[in-house]
Amino acid sequence: MPDAVFGHQYVSDLGELVLLLDFESASALTVTVLEGGGIAVAGQRERVDVTMAEVRPGLYFTTWQNRAGATVTQMQDFVNAMVRATLALPDGRCLVMTGSLRRTDDTEPSPGAGTTVRKQIARQAMRELLAGRIADLDRYWTPGHRDHALPADGHEGLRAFAMSAVGRRWEPVRMIAEGDMVVAHGRLTADGAPSIIVVDLFRFEGNRIAEHWNVAQPDSAEGDRPML
């Protein structure tokens, strides 16, 4: 589960039912009812056991049961700040609701959480690529991915790069995200080779990388002027 979720609170706004979700860990969640809409009691707060399963980066299938016996299932899209919920109530009713999902410390209602998640997707995509784990490229990269730093675009270009990059390590020191763009400033290292300072730019379509640029130079910092 990404750091963008753990330790943070999100408002799940389903219209008549508004919940404050405090994600403590992958198994513990505190739920506060902000608006009950006749479904729950406003102000009610309880800590529940939660089950979270990743469908794809930034999209989670989350379920819990409250003390009243209601089972809540949410498909939580942290990238696009959306949520779809199913509530199985003790009286036999089943409600399906859709709405927004917003982190409480975001300055904008949406999709501030998405930019944070995209940084983590870019980090994981590069680490998987350099580790040679290329069986699931479609999880992080669009099929028509365009790469300005490689001879070929698409997944074939990525596969060829991964085969030639065995043993390299990508170490981002700082990452900046805005809109559909993520920028990473870091170091590329390999055993027995000088390190290289790199700046990678990723353009996203939804929760996958659609375009990538890269600029690099030797790590030649001296004295009190480090390059990172």
At 82-102, the pLDDT tens digits run 999 999 999 999 999 999 888
- Residue pair 138/121 in contact (Cβ under 8 Å)? The answer is no
The answer as to whether 228 is a domain residue is no
Task: Supply the CATH number for residue 24's domain.
Answer: 2.40.128.20
Domain co-membership, 26 together with 96: yes
At 54-70, the pLDDT tens digits run 898 889 999 999 999 99
Quick one: pLDDT band at residue 21, thresholds 50, 70, 90? very high
**CA triplet 149, 152, 157: central angle to 5 degrees?**
95
Domain co-membership, 154 together with 84: no
The answer as to whether 49 is a domain residue is yes
Domain co-membership, 204 together with 181: yes
Q: Tell me, what's the pLDDT at 108?
A: 44
Which is more confident, 119 or 159? 159
Could you list the residue range(s) of the whole structural domain that residue 149 is in? 112-218
The pTM assigned to this predicted structure is 0.54
Domain count, the chain: 2
Domain co-membership, 116 together with 214: yes
Buried (b) or exposed (e) across 137-146, using 16+ Cβ within 10 A?
A: beebbbeebe
Quick one: pLDDT band at residue 116, thresholds 50, 70, 90? low
Residue written as tokens 């505190």?
30
Domain co-membership, 140 together with 212: yes
Q: Tell me, what's the pLDDT at 3?
A: 63
Handedness of CA 119, 120, 122, 123 (dihedral sign): positive
> What is the phi/psi pair of residue 56, to 5°?
-160, 170
Q: Which of 1-5, 27-31, 46-50, 98-102 has the lowest mean pLDDT?
A: 1-5
The answer as to whether 70 is a domain residue is yes
Domain co-membership, 116 together with 26: no
> Please, what is the average pLDDT of the chain?
86
